[in-house]
Structure 1
Amino acid sequence: MAEPTRAKYLLMPEWQGSASSRAMLITDGAAHLREDLPPTARFDVPVPQQAGDSLGTPVARLSSVVAARDAAREILHGTEEPAITLGGDCASTLAGLDRAVERDPSVAVLWFDAHPDLQHPSTSPSGAASGMALRHALGQGIGDLNGAHPVEPARVLLIGAREVDPEEAQAIDELGLRAIPASTESPAEAIAGWLAEVGATSVYVHIDLDVLDPAEFAAVHSPVPFGLSVSDLAGAVRAAIAQAPLAGAAICEFAPASAEIAADDSPTVLRLLAALVSGGTR
């Protein structure tokens, strides 16, 4: 049986990258998760309280998103153990993913998300950094947010994306990104096959909780029907980590609208966290 992964846990209540009018619910979700993280391995990422400024770019609230990203980078500088970022919007994944690619350029990226997050800053309808997170991880956005160590498109797998803008669909085709629909009968097997195909030496796991079916998980801003079941998602993560060691991860967009919803859905977040640390590390 594999030893549990020893990881750093970055609690990063960044809401400024979200497009939702209720974006600050993300900070409530982060606060609810805080005490469930091991204190000796938990690092609180300082996130600006103010909304922030676009700094003359098409990216809304860019100054705060960059400040939070840079604070996370400072915590991660020189660290060798994988980092799991929790409590923020999808742009909160950028620092940990960049560090994972820096440590292992052959890392495979599993992008569990109802959206591909491939909007381009110049054409994004909302200007929200979350909707551009993967675009910037690939190094194809604006300089302030582009990853210092861009991910290779051939090493990214989209899982569960079912709300895709026309321009994002075009980007998927042009970049040659592979995708596994939420309706796939055995996502764990499909992911395992892809990891073997690309020769993954480690895995970075990005999870936007809206990849889950709304019938099983309610604590997101904009639920999208026909998502993955909790058991399929947790099983897929466990299988991936069993095949290639964890390089890092992010669990994003936990936005409970009430204390009752937070209490109902936080066990799912903790179940996914347990799946992430169920195997070895890079």
Structure 2
Amino acid sequence: MHTTPLHPARTVRLIGVPIDLGAARRGVDMGPSAMRLSSLVQQLERLGLTVHDAGNVPVPDRALLPATPAARLQAITAVCADVADRTAAAVREGITPLMLGGDHSLAAGSVAGTATALHERGERVGLIWLDAHADLNTPQTTLSGNVHGMPVAHLLGLGDPPLAQLSSATPAVRPQHLVYVGLRDLDDAEKATIRDLGIRAFTMRDIDERGLRAVMDDAVTIATTGTGGFHLSCDADWVDPQEAPGVGTPVRGGATLREAHLAMEIIHDTGALRAMDLVEINPILDARNATAELAAELIASAFGRRIL
């Protein structure tokens, strides 16, 4: 860890969340290690940022938990509560927390933490969700039972009450402040919830027809209108699996390499990024850590790396 004094506005705090309790496929718990082995820290430091690695959030061993959905949900909720506390603490300090996953269930905690810190100063949080999937199921609607398909529902106050009530803001995220970019694989129940709550959701068709720039401009407007900034939650499967093979639930037809970088560059230009997740990297399914290296490059773009 760095021992030099931290300058909050120019500090990124890495928080590893090696959780695989929300996913069916094993291996995503090694994602934080893959990210740390990539060029991430060097790329951020080259931007003049101080990188403070806060280590990993403790996560119980999946093999030691009772093999029941209730036990797993309870364990995930405890991890997410810890993640929420750590995220809120960083945002309060003016430090940008960067959560390295782990499966996407961790965002039920990280976004809740950002929401808490902003709520304490009378502000709401915006949420930009870059993902092939909506992650909008609840324990009642899920087809797979996997909690990494549920974090957004819980951030909206739906689903299991303990997991949905981790933020001092209620709900953690309001539907009008949430925007999806890059969706291409949704369950029928998720489609119904998006329609019922009036959530703005840009699919890959929208990107195809309108272009990434226009879609991201709309997304930023949604996430910054009436908020104190936004949390960016990025699933590596948002990018096409040809570029990002090391993910557990790949869906063809995702963002291209340049679309992904452009989205991150636009994010940085807003000056409104308060916290970020980069999740669902599974080194077992990867080739020469390529997906973690791509993620490091995308994160660098989100924090200010420019071509010229």
Give the TM-score taking structure 2 as reference length: 0.80
Match of 1:111 among 129, 137, 140: 129
Match of 1:267 among 276, 289, 293: 293
Range with bigger deviation, 102-111 or 208-217: 102-111
- The answer on whether the counterparts of 1:17 and 1:89 sit within 8 Å (CA) in structure 2 is yes
The letter for the 2-side match of 1:67 is A
Match of 2:113 among 72, 84, 99: 99
User: Which structure 1 segments of 5+ residues have no match?
Assistant: none
Q: Which residue of 2 aligns with 1:120?
A: 138
Q: Which residue of 2 aligns with 1:71?
A: 82
In the alignment, structure 1 residue 83 sits paired with structure 2 residue 109: no
- The answer on whether the counterparts of 2:16 and 2:56 sit within 8 Å (CA) in structure 1 is yes
Q: Which residue of 1 aligns with 2:30?
A: 28
DSSP 3-state at the match of 1:94: helix
Match of 2:196 among 154, 174, 187: 174
Instruction: Spell out, residue by residue over 1:179-221, the C-alpha distance to the aligned partner (whole angstroms, 9 max, x if none).
Output: 1122414223322234235525412111111111112110011
Count of aligned pairs between the two proteins: 271
The letter for the 1-side match of 2:292 is S
Q: Which residue of 2 aligns with 1:7?
A: 12
Structure 2 Cα separation of the partners of residues 192 and 69 of structure 1:
30
1:229 deviates by 1.1
The letter for the 1-side match of 2:183 is A
Structure 2 Cα separation of the partners of residues 211 and 194 of structure 1:
15
Q: Which residue of 1 aligns with 2:73?
A: 62
* Cα 1:125–1:60 shift into 2, 3 Å: farther
- Describe how 1:124-143 pairs up with structure 2 within 5 A: 124-143=142-161
- Describe how 1:160-171 pairs up with structure 2 within 5 A: 160-171=182-193
Give the TM-score taking structure 1 as reference length: 0.87
Structure 2 Cα separation of the partners of residues 26 and 123 of structure 1:
24
* Cα 1:134–1:77 shift into 2, 3 Å: closer
In the alignment, structure 1 residue 204 sits paired with structure 2 residue 215: no
* Cα 1:99–1:229 shift into 2, 3 Å: same
The letter for the 2-side match of 1:89 is D
- The answer on whether the counterparts of 1:188 and 1:237 sit within 8 Å (CA) in structure 2 is no
1:101 deviates by 1.4
- The answer on whether the counterparts of 2:107 and 2:233 sit within 8 Å (CA) in structure 1 is yes
Q: Which residue of 2 aligns with 1:246?
A: 273
Match of 1:144 among 155, 162, 165: 162
DSSP 3-state at the match of 1:205: strand
DSSP 3-state at the match of 1:158: strand
Q: Which residue of 2 aligns with 1:155?
A: 177
Higher helix share: 2
Range with bigger deviation, 33-42 or 220-229: 33-42
User: Which structure 2 segments of 5+ residues have no match?
Assistant: 1-8, 42-50
In the alignment, structure 1 residue 190 sits paired with structure 2 residue 192: no
In the alignment, structure 1 residue 278 sits paired with structure 2 residue 280: no
1:53 deviates by 4.5
1:242 deviates by 1.1
* Cα 1:171–1:42 shift into 2, 3 Å: same
Structure 1 Cα separation of the partners of residues 30 and 219 of structure 2:
36
1:45 deviates by 0.9
1:59 deviates by 5.1
- The answer on whether the counterparts of 1:93 and 1:249 sit within 8 Å (CA) in structure 2 is no
1:267 deviates by 1.4
Q: Which residue of 2 aligns with 1:45?
A: 57
Structure 2 Cα separation of the partners of residues 159 and 97 of structure 1:
17
1:239 deviates by 0.6
Instruction: Spell out, residue by residue over 1:102-149, the C-alpha distance to the aligned partner (whole angstroms, 9 max, x if none).
Output: 233433211111110111211212221111110011111111211423
Range with bigger deviation, 97-106 or 113-122: 97-106
